[in-house]
Structure 1
Amino acid sequence: MNLRFAAVLLLPCGLAHAEPRLTQSDFGGVGLMQTPTARMAPAGELSVNASRTSPYSRYSVSLQPFEWLEGSFRYTAITNRRYGPESLSGDQSYKDKAVDLKVRLWQETHWAPDVALGFRDVGGTGLFSSEFLVANKRYDDFDFSAGIAWGYIGNRGDFENPLGWADDRFKTRPDGEGTGDVNTNAYFRGRPSLFGGVTYQTPWEPLSLKLEYEGNDYKNEPKDNVIKQDSPINLGAVLKLTDSVDLSAGWERGNTAMFGITLHTNFVSRKAPAKTYDPPAERLPAHAPNTAPDQVNWANVSQRLQKNAGYNVERITQRGSELFVYGEQTNYFHSAKAVGRASRILDNSVNDDIDWFTLVNKRYDLPLEETSVPRETFREVVNNEEPLQTLHRSTEVNAAMPHTETTLYTAARDPFNYGVGLGYKQNIGGPDGLLYQLSADADAEYRFTRNTWWSGMLSANLANNYDHFTYDAPSGLPRVRTDLRKYLTTSDVTMPTFQLSHAEQLDKDLFGMVYGGYLESMFAGVGGEVLFRPTGQRWSVGADLNYVRQREFNQGFGLRDYSTVTGHITGYTDLPFDTQAAVSVGRYLARDWGTTIDLSREFANGVRFGAWATLTTATTAEYGEGSFDKGIYLSIPFDELMSMSTMRRANIVWSPLTRDGGARLNRSYWLHSMTDSRDSDMFYRNFDKITQ
């Protein structure tokens, strides 16, 4: 499993509160111990879980993108089975990767229970694959669950499959040990079993108790494991150590202890840290200054706009009673906050000749959107003389358009900027076990013009255990990704990127970009991208085309022999329930053709949960274990995690395997993300920040 990581802390947030307990099962996902329940965590919940019930050690991540949908990625170590021959993996235990889904079909009412349909191990090898239908009903401090399961959860096979009445094929279940396919041919097949249990919330708020009856008799365990079950009844307890940490313990199978820990947080209900390191917003004066626009010290205003509102000012202009500030936002993730701070600065600087402040946001000189704030209404709202809704109704967000204006100030460009930080890479799931690297990274950018720039990065190894990295996965395709070991171990100092880029607005809603150089750690080349993103629409279409050549393993300036043409046409659209979809069709790095479907949910604060799957012309034999590319990801604005404002994001991606099929170019710049501020939804959903 590849993990691209930026530090996210799940910090304790205080003592427990009296509320219905929703805790994680041994497998991950809301449940009892071995069995799931119909309960769902609140939307926006993230849980990281670890449990041990010999011979299984399970590690999982569960995401709740909607109140009715739960997804989990799980990694299981079967500790009494080896990954392979000693020559391949030493004493590493067998590792299994899986994806689970659970969907609520009916929400609990006074008389009716919660009802959910679930699929365990839908995207892995199928060692623990199962399908289930489960219901929950709460009575005071007791939460009862009961369900029917096929596959692993129902391995006891208590009775004939009722679906066999419709079709004889449902009476038997095919062998579940596959190679990563979505095994739809096995769904709801074989003899099922009943399962259920109860959770009791004790009078002591941090403690809840569990009792379950499971439908697995452990006579058909993966890898021919012989496991003895003395009782189908399991007992457990969960201690809520803090709001973010749960400790669990249990007695399972009548003879085996279970221990577990869950770290969890909710990115919707949690409050972002106070921005104690941000400069305070300027106070509004009792009266507007007497300085006319053509007499203002605009150089000073420009400096204040940069330091306090995050705008790297390009120019300031006037059209009648409207003042325009053209610039690039570099600091505030929430544009409403930046607009409000800039409006305060402008209100402090110019007389009553100006009635409107318009902030024109640009990105690499691409004019994206202009936000116009009525000055008088803004003052009244900040001074608590009018409600925020009055300003919300009168503030306008439009596509940036050319205007006939008088230029008051033009700023000198500061072409060079740089940054330093720590990087972390991790690879897990192969016969080499857990592999990691900690690095010191330095990135820099030089702008020859406002829309032509060079960017690059140097990375120096600080600590790693890649000396254990000996396994190159088999592949029937050109090795565009499975040479990962060589790229990670050849040099302690690498140059992941070194490229030149140029962006243009080609028409009102059409953007273009060309680029060339060392585009990512494994490939160099040249390419171009266009994006049509119409104003006020919830869809866009883009296309990119690239000629690339493989880089030397030391990630210096050298190139290898392999080259290819790769590119995609991508459609983006908004779907119901605040869901976004991106569908790409094209040619991948290994010269296979196919489609990638990406579905995600973005919350009001910018946190995004998503998943993708890629199917290509590569055959199962060519692709190898996993058979197709898939994964889940979490994207979190650092603004939600830090005590200072920033536009950076933490991106965490869980992908079960590194394979060559379906591999895309990992470019640093994409027009769709560069033009995201054209979507005004985020501005209006966080409009209250305009007064901060």
Structure 2
Amino acid sequence: MKLRYSLCLLLPWAIAQGEPRPTQNDFGGVGLLQTPTARMAEAGEVSINANRVDPYSRYSFSLQPFDWLEGSFRYTSISNRRYGPDELSGNQSYKDKAVDAKLRLLRESHWLPELAIGGRDVGGTGLFSSEYLVGNKRFGDLDLSLGMAWGYIGNRGDFANPLGWIDDRFDHRPTPNSDVNSAGSFDTSAYFRGSPALFGGLLWQTPWERLALKLEYDGNDYRHEPQHNNQDQRSPINLGFVFKAGDAVDLHAGWERGNTAMFGITLHTNFATRAAPAKVSDPVAEALPTKAPDLHPEQVDWAHVSQRLESNAGYKVERIARKDAELIVYGEQTRYLYPPKALGRAARILDNSVDEQIDWFTLVDKRYDMPVTETSLPRQTFREVVRNDRPLDDLRRGTEQNWPLPHQEQVLFEQTPEPFSYGFGLGYKQNVGGPDGFLLYQFTADASAEYRFTPDTWWSGGLSANLLNNFDKFKYDAPSNLPRVRTYLREYWTSSDVTLPTFQLNSAKRLDRDLYGMVYGGYLEAMFAGVGGELLYRPLGERWALGGDLNYVRQRDFDQGFGLRDYRVLSGHVTGYLKTDVEDILAAVSVGRYLARDWGTTLDLSREFGNGVRFGGWVTLTSASKQQYGEGSFDKGIYVSIPFDELMTTSTMRRANLAWAPLTRDGGARLARNYSLYNLTDGRNTDMFDSNFYKITE
């Protein structure tokens, strides 16, 4: 104790010791150095990791969609092994792709440890495949872990497999299958087989908050590395530290195998708990009036009010009407991601504009003239809540959300919004882990435009111009045993410096109270043009929806101009959506025909946090056999959808959609449509409204 207090006096920036925080291991995922622990990051955590321990360089992406589930996706570069023949990939090192998962079984209590089960390389080539059971117990500033592993982590094989008592097939672990057609499949026949080994260690949170030390007992025997890449191991004890260089940056270093240095970096953040930047670039919300104006609704300059509603509350107003003591605004929200924030700002503007004859403010939200929701706000309660005279819950109970239905109303103002809009931005494409180079990239200057012929019929299109790329290395055409609907990626990315990704005509309508429809035609995505339609039934206030789409499309020329190739296909799906009571997981199940004429099912599971950030993943199984599909065996991947509102100092409804798939193949490929009715009717997401209702006063 004396030493601890002396250290705190010597380091004035030090703080009292706290519990060790979860940090990433060499492979990605919470752990020590080479081994995992039972600990998990908080739900919403995302980390990007890179480290080097000869001969391996590892690059991983770890995701924590729930506090009980961790997923990691990794590329490993093996510097002393070649990717393939010199004529194919030159001197590029071998690249291994892998998927890891860890599931919490038990939370730590006073007497019991934290307990987790997991698998490394459960969906890759299997070079580093391993399964494990691990427990952790915390004692103040020390966090101890002990586990048992099969496969790579337990290569030392300390003892006979206890599962061999059940079935002697568990006594032997098959050699990882390096066949290309098997890579990426989930080979459950190897799980928990072979002789396991113990592993474990401790993490010490030092008195200096920025520094944590790690001591690890490694269960691997490096004399049996994959690809006969055996390494000298002088000691099973690994030592390392993690230095917190900033709130979002961890630096790692260590001494592993008794003879090899390790260095790494982790960039991380929590999109569920992080505070979004202050919206200093937004207009200031109007102050409430001390006394309502004396203007009757018929005397108000509604054209001026409409301008304020657009500039301050983000509503492009179509019309403003009165029904008895209710003022109704019809319009489309274009700025604020969170509906309560837009509603509150609009209510302030209306409160500043009309006399006390009006008791209710109603906003009817539309998308391309499709009424989505109708939200009514009691004027007096809103005033009292903004002035802190009543609790927010009173306003939430008094706020009504209904189906947008025709009203017997007096129209006070009507206008046709400006039909033409456009925007500019930067684009980025990449191909990771191919034989032509680990990272092939392209930066583009993108322009988009839209013209509305009527409120519900519009043209949209875009241009993309190359700025910077290394696609001159992109020479490899992946093999395919199916129609090439996606594996012409190289041709589409390298044939022209200026492309026309989309150029299409669209029309959408609400057909009934909860039924929406849309038709479209033109150049629908970079690789396909055609015509199609979609229907969606989405009841207001329900957590389910049912939709279907049907598309007749033809493959585009590689330069993404107006030319077309010969390949044609009729593709479409029926999709059911259900937001479950399990962690608010949204399950979307699609059944239908894919672009390569294969039939099958896609399961998409995602979680949306209160701030709109979504983590998700998909798996597609079709009638294409493993041999037809090729490497990867079936389509799968993960995605993160992050509202730019979480990243910028100005409010916006735009999103950054980042998807990661181990491979681009032809099986299970769907049309990448620009518009979907489920997204266009997202205003019916009442969970998003409720979780952000507090923003109504901002």
TM (norm. structure 1) is 0.97
3-state SS of paired residue (2:309): helix
Q: Which amino acid aligns with 2:357?
A: D
Match status 1:586 vs 2:592? yes
**8 Å CA contact retained: 1:437, 1:465:** yes
Equivalent in the alignment of 2:671: 665
Give 1:535 deviation, angstroms: 1.8
Give 1:228 deviation, angstroms: 1.3
Match status 1:431 vs 2:435? yes
Match status 1:354 vs 2:358? yes
Equivalent in the alignment of 1:474: 479
Q: Which moved more, 1:641-650 or 1:166-175?
A: 166-175
Give 1:402 deviation, angstroms: 1.6
Give 1:413 deviation, angstroms: 2.5
Match status 1:510 vs 2:515? yes
Equivalent in the alignment of 2:38: 38
3-state SS of paired residue (2:568): strand
Q: Distance in 2 between matches of 1:258 and 1:281?
A: 52
Name the CA shift for 1:16/1:477 in 2 (closer, same or farther; >3 Å).
farther
Match status 1:674 vs 2:684? no
Give 1:152 deviation, angstroms: 0.8
1:486-514: CA deviation from partner (whole Å, max 9, x where unpaired): 11111000000000000011111111000
Q: Which amino acid aligns with 2:527?
A: M
Equivalent in the alignment of 2:536: 531
3-state SS of paired residue (2:222): coil
Q: Distance in 1 between matches of 2:292 and 2:455?
A: 34
Give 1:467 deviation, angstroms: 0.2
3-state SS of paired residue (1:627): coil
Equivalent in the alignment of 2:309: 305
3-state SS of paired residue (1:428): strand
Percent identity of the aligned residues? 69
> Which of 621, 624, 632 pairs up with 2:630?
624
Q: Distance in 1 between matches of 2:418 and 2:307?
A: 12
Map 1:17-32; keep pairs closer than 5 Å: 18-32=18-32
**8 Å CA contact retained: 2:14, 2:208:** no
Q: Distance in 2 between matches of 1:91 and 1:616?
A: 36
Segments of 5+ residues of structure 2 without an aligned counterpart are: 1-12
Equivalent in the alignment of 1:461: 466
> Which of 374, 380, 386 pairs up with 1:376?
380
Give 1:518 deviation, angstroms: 0.2
Give 1:158 deviation, angstroms: 1.0
Give 1:442 deviation, angstroms: 0.2
> Which of 589, 601, 606 pairs up with 1:600?
606
Equivalent in the alignment of 1:548: 553
Give 1:566 deviation, angstroms: 0.6
Match status 1:207 vs 2:211? yes
Segments of 5+ residues of structure 1 without an aligned counterpart are: 1-13
**8 Å CA contact retained: 2:522, 2:531:** yes
Map 1:21-420; keep pairs closer than 5 Å: 21-177=21-177, 178-420=182-424
Q: Distance in 1 between matches of 2:121 and 2:616?
A: 18
Name the CA shift for 1:90/1:15 in 2 (closer, same or farther; >3 Å).
farther
1:230-267: CA deviation from partner (whole Å, max 9, x where unpaired): 11110101111111100000011111110000000011
Q: Distance in 2 between matches of 1:44 and 1:419?
A: 31
3-state SS of paired residue (1:377): helix
Equivalent in the alignment of 2:504: 499
> Which of 642, 645, 663 pairs up with 1:636?
642
Q: Distance in 2 between matches of 1:465 and 1:150?
A: 41
**8 Å CA contact retained: 1:96, 1:125:** yes
Runs of 4+, deviation exceeding 6 Å? 14-17
3-state SS of paired residue (1:429): strand
Name the CA shift for 1:16/1:365 in 2 (closer, same or farther; >3 Å).
farther
Give 1:412 deviation, angstroms: 2.3
**8 Å CA contact retained: 1:15, 1:242:** no
Q: Which amino acid aligns with 1:653?
A: A
1:299-318: CA deviation from partner (whole Å, max 9, x where unpaired): 00000000000000000011
Give 1:169 deviation, angstroms: 1.2
Q: Which amino acid aligns with 1:209?
A: L
Q: Which amino acid aligns with 2:590?
A: S
Q: Distance in 2 between matches of 1:159 and 1:15?
A: 44
Give the root-mean-square deviation of aligned CA atoms. 1.1
Name the CA shift for 1:262/1:391 in 2 (closer, same or farther; >3 Å).
same
Q: Distance in 2 between matches of 1:432 and 1:88?
A: 7
> Which of 557, 569, 573 pairs up with 1:568?
573
Q: Which amino acid aligns with 1:127?
A: L
1:327-347: CA deviation from partner (whole Å, max 9, x where unpaired): 000000001000000000000
Give 1:578 deviation, angstroms: 1.5
Give 1:19 deviation, angstroms: 4.8
Give 1:16 deviation, angstroms: 9.4
Q: Distance in 2 between matches of 1:310 and 1:413?
A: 13
3-state SS of paired residue (1:507): coil
Higher relative contact order (CA 8 A, sep 6+): 1
> Which of 559, 562, 578 pairs up with 1:557?
562
Give 1:477 deviation, angstroms: 0.6
Match status 1:452 vs 2:469? no
Q: Which moved more, 1:528-537 or 1:355-364?
A: 528-537
Give 1:219 deviation, angstroms: 2.6
Q: Which amino acid aligns with 1:637?
A: P
Match status 1:646 vs 2:663? no
Give 1:432 deviation, angstroms: 1.1
Q: Distance in 1 between matches of 2:496 and 2:119?
A: 43
Q: Distance in 2 between matches of 1:625 and 1:479?
A: 15
**8 Å CA contact retained: 1:526, 1:548:** yes
> Which of 604, 617, 621 pairs up with 1:615?
621
Give 1:15 deviation, angstroms: 11
3-state SS of paired residue (2:688): helix
- Tell me how many residue pairs correspond in the alignment: 679
1:164-201: CA deviation from partner (whole Å, max 9, x where unpaired): 11111111111223411101111111111110000111
**8 Å CA contact retained: 1:16, 1:242:** no
Q: Distance in 1 between matches of 2:15 and 2:53?
A: 27
Q: Which moved more, 1:489-498 or 1:149-158?
A: 149-158
Q: Distance in 1 between matches of 2:671 and 2:232?
A: 49
3-state SS of paired residue (1:219): helix
Q: Which amino acid aligns with 1:513?
A: M
Q: Distance in 2 between matches of 1:16 and 1:608?
A: 35
3-state SS of paired residue (1:338): helix
**8 Å CA contact retained: 2:20, 2:212:** no
Give 1:220 deviation, angstroms: 2.4
3-state SS of paired residue (2:522): strand
Give 1:56 deviation, angstroms: 0.6
3-state SS of paired residue (2:23): coil
TM (norm. structure 2) is 0.96
Q: Which moved more, 1:230-239 or 1:398-407?
A: 398-407
Equivalent in the alignment of 2:492: 487
**8 Å CA contact retained: 2:19, 2:205:** no
**8 Å CA contact retained: 1:16, 1:240:** no
**8 Å CA contact retained: 1:16, 1:243:** no
3-state SS of paired residue (2:388): coil
Name the CA shift for 1:571/1:217 in 2 (closer, same or farther; >3 Å).
same
1:65-116: CA deviation from partner (whole Å, max 9, x where unpaired): 1111111111111111111001111111111111111011000011111000
